[in-house]
A and B are shown apart, each in its own frame.
Chain A
């Protein structure tokens, strides 16, 4: 199964890497061999040790055991600077750019070429690199003016400008629209054609198959196998990755829909920049159904979720929950009216440096049994938190651990657990599985289906079309803040949805498709 090559042919060899953190072994004898000029996918679930292995190669982590060889030479990498000197660059999931500076300034920032900013020479070199690899970007634009895809190109240029020959990319498509992702894969192909090497961390099987030459699968800190991509299949990779058969099929029971829980009428909401973000939007969600909103991110989804949860003022229109007009209610009143909310921007709903226990009581600290007069009942907090940790199988040393130390899947599970433990009548969930692996995604999906079965009205906002389609009972497509069309999910045509997501098709306005009649 493992296609080993002679070590001297590999440009990067990691052997027997062990990296421990208090309570966790992130890498447990991991191996990796990357050939020059290939795109090498590093596939695994969240917490499988992909990123930590690459942080070892990039000099951010120092392994307890194991050896690293680069171009045949045994090396010790103390820091990212060392790594860059060896020609290794890494682009993290979160870009590290100065928002108010220009593209050129960001690229040359920190280099000690001369006292004055060597703008002129830099510009020529940047344009040359951009031309060579197809990295279109305006060198004088300020970073905040650029889309995620363009910012990523700046990061790539920054690495290339420093003479990087081996580029590590951590989940590079997670921030991109499908179009931008396609373009990125193109660029990577062009880079490897020019002799550069790319290591591509991902958990998306489609991407592995689409772009990589070879793939190394990791699980629980170990390398499970390295395969030629052409000679494997998605289902083989999926099995290697999770170590068991993946349930791609959802066990979705029929649930009778009940009363109308959420009704939004003619809603208009402005974005942070004061531009119309949600335009004359109406929808209804009933008890016992999942209503999906599909669409490319940045089309008003964030403003919509924030308006319904009370975090963003509404410029006109009405929001009604269980027959009560809540358009002007403050967030606390909405929480108490039974609205659960998992925002697309997860850290808005969590306090990274505080313990799991302190995070779990964020919504109910003021009410019994947690809140007791002016006090917080610490015994009740312990019981409640430990109960959630057990019930939702949140993997953590204990309830005192800062929540930022958990893996992405566990953080999301904890957040969802908190929101549904209060048995909300309306649950707003945005991008519930973004950045999560197959196993974690499955758990989250099942939790949402359980909520539906319990009789909650679930408003699911997702830019993952597969997710929106498989979970929703009814589905609407949002484009530039407007609903382009609305279907029963099982009758939806992918082609139509695709056109609507791109703004190329709009369903004629009609009412009868909107509300599934209560059975």
Chain B
């Protein structure tokens, strides 16, 4: 008896609908795999999915929370679409977010007496600068010494983590925190206003959407955007046309890091009103943002939508942890599985499988 074999063959032409179809199929397969994991944990997958959906999108409170979590995901995710377009594989948005949070906190400590209309913009600027500086390190290492930015940007996440811990356990620990590793609460002028009765710090949300549109226009309408696209698609052609690779690499990293830094600022000044240990500030927004960018196929406008989806997933994941007594890592497994399938689906845009009997 002969077993059927699967052949992988290169596609010479691909229909227009293929990328969308492969994305949907990959999401469906990711769901199926997650269902198996749920089943293995002894939870009915259908019940779990229903709870996740209801948790994230099925109630007013759920939607509020989802939008709250969408904010940092848009900011960091949009930045990553730009970096990935320019072929800078910035994996360290999480670290850039944390440094952004530190810088924003620093600004609020430096100018505690400033009025909100001065202090908040200064803090946003600080957040941007912090994230940008953190992202500039891998960029400089890459352009000067050809060090792989994947490694350096990732490793700097851990450095950023330790930096936050050092500050909240050490010099910045508050005076009235009863021993908790947190700073004192920011002055009232350093609180980003929220929509009444929710945690949605809407100025950050509006800023995020505005930046998504601006990055989209940057990529499609400007000389710099053109240079980024050319360099990302064919570095040889970029050199041939006399484009400045160092400038482009540095700029996309600075912008993507800066946007992640803004996300960090949004979290400390819009949600917590103080600097807290890293895991309290971000449940891995910077890493989830990688999925946001890839799911959006590196389109900054589409990243708004994918950020909302993944925000809902985070909220829904929290909901089932409590309701179904699942481990805290469940959401991370979720994210990992989705990213794996989405990236694997890229293969099918270029290759096809054929069953051979």
On whether the beta carbons of B221 and A349 are closer than 8 Å, the reply is no
Contact A349 to B240, CB < 8 A, known contacts A376-B221, A376-B222: yes
Contact of A79 among B9, B13, B230, B241 (CB under 8 A): B9
Q: Mark A362-375, 1 if CB is under 8 A from B, else 0.
A: 11011000010011
A372 CA to B7 CA in the complex, in Å? Answer: 51
> How far is the CB of A60 from the nearest CB of chain B, in Å?
6
7 residue pairs bridging A and B, Cβ less than 8 Å apart: A21-B13, A60-B10, A79-B9, A331-B241, A332-B243, A334-B242, A365-B226
Measured CB to CB, the nearest residue on chain B to A61 is B12
- Flag whether B223 is at the interface (Cβ < 8 A): yes
Interface residues of A (CB under 8 A from B): 21, 55, 60-61, 78-81, 309-311, 330-335, 341, 343, 347-354, 358, 361-363, 365-366, 371, 374-376, 378
- Which listed residue, A351, A366, A371, touches B237 by the CB 8 Å rule? A351
Q: How far in angstroms is the closest Cβ of chain B from A93?
A: 15
CA distance A348 to B236 in the complex (A): 5
Chain B residues within an 8 Å CB radius of A331? 239-242
Most chain A CB neighbours (cut-off 10 Å) among B225, B239, B242: B242
CB distance from A13 to the nearest CB of B (A): 23
Roughly how many angstroms separate A60 CA and B12 CA in the complex, as a whole number? Answer: 7
Q: Does B234 count as interface, using CB distance less than 8 angstroms?
A: yes
The docked-state distance in angstroms from the alpha carbon of A361 to that of B222 is 13
Seed contacts A79-B9, A330-B242, A361-B226; 18 additional CB < 8 Å A-B pairs: A55-B12, A61-B12, A78-B354, A331-B240, A332-B241, A341-B240, A347-B236, A354-B229, A354-B233, A362-B230, A363-B241, A365-B223, A365-B226, A366-B223, A371-B223, A375-B221, A375-B222, A378-B221
Smallest CB separation, B184 vs chain A (Å): 43
User: Given that A347-B234, A351-B233 are known contacts, is A335 also in contact with B7, CB under 8 Å in the complex?
Assistant: no
A361 cross-chain contacts in B, Cβ below 8 A: 226
Interface residues of B in 197-254 (CB under 8 A from A): 221-226, 229-230, 233-234, 236-237, 239-244
CA gap between A48 and B37 in the complex, in Å: 54
- Partner of A311 from the list B225, B239, B244 (CB cut-off 8 Å) is B239
Residues of A within 8 A of B222 (CB): 374-376
Our pick among B234, B244, B356 for the contact of A351 (Cβ within 8 Å) is B234
Q: CB-nearest residue of chain B relative to A21?
A: B13
Contact B237 A362 (CB under 8 A): yes
Instruction: Please determine whether B242 and A332 come into contact, CB atoms closer than 8 angstroms.
Output: yes
- Report whether B224 and A374 are in contact in the complex, using a CB–CB cutoff of 8 Å: yes
Partner of A376, one of B13, B226, B243: B226
Asked if residues A311 and B234 are in contact (CB atoms below 8 Å), the reply is no
Output the nearest chain B residue to A363 by Cβ-Cβ distance: B241
CA distance A199 to B356 in the complex (A): 28
Q: Which residues of A contact B226 (CB under 8 A)?
A: 358, 361, 365, 376
Q: Determine how close the nearest CB of chain A comes to the CB of B113; give it in whole angstroms.
A: 37
Contacts of B242 in A (CB 8 A): 310, 330-335
- Give B17 Cβ to nearest chain A Cβ, in Å: 13
Contacts of A354 in B (CB 8 A): 229-230, 233
0 or 1 for each of B17-60: is its CB under 8 Å from A? (1 = yes): 00000000000000000000000000000000000000000000
**Which residues of B sit under 8 angstroms from A366, Cβ to Cβ?**
223
CA distance A60 to B224 in the complex (A): 39
For B236, list chain A residues within 8 Å (CB). Answer: 347-348
Compute how far the CA of A463 lies from the CA of B7 in the bound complex, rounded to whole angstroms.
Answer: 41
Chain A residues with Cβ below 8 Å from B240 are 309, 311, 331, 341, 343, 348-349, 362
Q: Give how many B residues have a beta carbon under 8 Å from the other chain's beta carbons.
A: 25
Cα(A330)–Cα(B222), bound, Å:
23
Cβ–Cβ < 8 Å partners of B354 in chain A: 78-79
Which residues of chain B have C-beta atoms less than 8 A from A55's C-beta?
12
B residues apposed to A, CB below 8 Å? 7, 9-10, 12-13, 221-226, 229-230, 233-234, 236-237, 239-244, 354, 356
Residues of B within 8 A of A371 (CB): 223
Max count, chain A CB within 10 A of own CB: residue among B222, B226, B243, B244: B226
**4 closest Cβ contacts across the A-B interface?**
A332-B242, A331-B242, A348-B236, A351-B234
Q: Decide yes or no: A79 and B7 within 8 Å by CB, A60-B12, A331-B240 being known contacts.
A: yes
Q: Is the CB–CB distance between B7 and A351 below 8 Å?
A: no
Residues of the A chain whose Cβ atoms lie less than 8 Å from the Cβ of B225: 376
B355 to chain A, nearest CB (A): 11
Cα-based distance from A335 to B14 in the complex (angstroms): 37
- Give chain A nearest CB distance to B255 CB in angstroms: 14
Known contacts A348-B237, A352-B234, A362-B230: A81-B223 contact under CB 8 Å:
no
Bound together, the chains give a CA A375 to CA B240 distance in angstroms of: 21
| Complex: A310 Cα to B223 Cα, angstroms | 22
Closest chain A residue, CB of each to CB of B243: A332
Residue of B nearest to A78 (CB): B354
Contacts of B241 in A (CB 8 A): 331-332, 335, 362-363
Max chain A Cβ within 10 angstroms of own Cβ: one of B223, B225, B229? B223
Contact assessment for B9 and A80 in the assembled complex, using a CB-CB cutoff below 8 Å: yes
In the bound assembly, the distance between CA atoms of A112 and B170 in angstroms comes to 62
A365 to B225, CA, bound (A): 11
Q: Which chain A residues lie closer than 8 Å to B244 at the CB level?
A: 332
Residue of B nearest to A348 (CB): B236
Query: In the bound complex, what is the Cα–Cα distance between A310 and B242 (angstroms)?
Result: 9
Alpha-carbon separation in the docked complex, A420 to B98 (Å): 51
Residue of B nearest to A361 (CB): B226
Chain B residues, CB < 8 A from A376: 221-223, 225-226
Distance A363 CA – B224 CA, assembled complex (angstroms): 14
A444 to chain B, nearest CB (A): 19
A353-B233 Cα distance, complex, nearest whole Å: 8
Q: Find the residue from A60, A332, A366 having the highest chain B CB count within 10 A.
A: A366
Set of chain B residues within 8 Å of A61, measured between Cβ atoms: 12
Query: Distance in Å from the Cβ of A18 to the closest Cβ of chain B?
Result: 15
Q: What is the minimal beta-carbon distance from B137 to any residue of chain A, in angstroms?
A: 26
B183 → A minimal CB distance (Å) = 40
| Residue on A nearest B244 in the bound complex, by CB | A332
CA of A358 to CA of B221, assembled, Å: 12
**In the complex, are the beta carbons of B237 and A375 less than 8 A apart?**
no
Closest chain A residue to B225, Cβ basis: A376
Report the minimal beta-carbon distance from A17 to chain B, rounded to whole angstroms: 16
Q: In chain A, what residue has the closest Cβ to B227?
A: A365
Q: How far is the CB of A21 from chain B (nearest CB, A)?
A: 6
**Distance of A347 Cα from B224 Cα, bound (Å):** 22
Contact A81 B230 (CB under 8 A): no
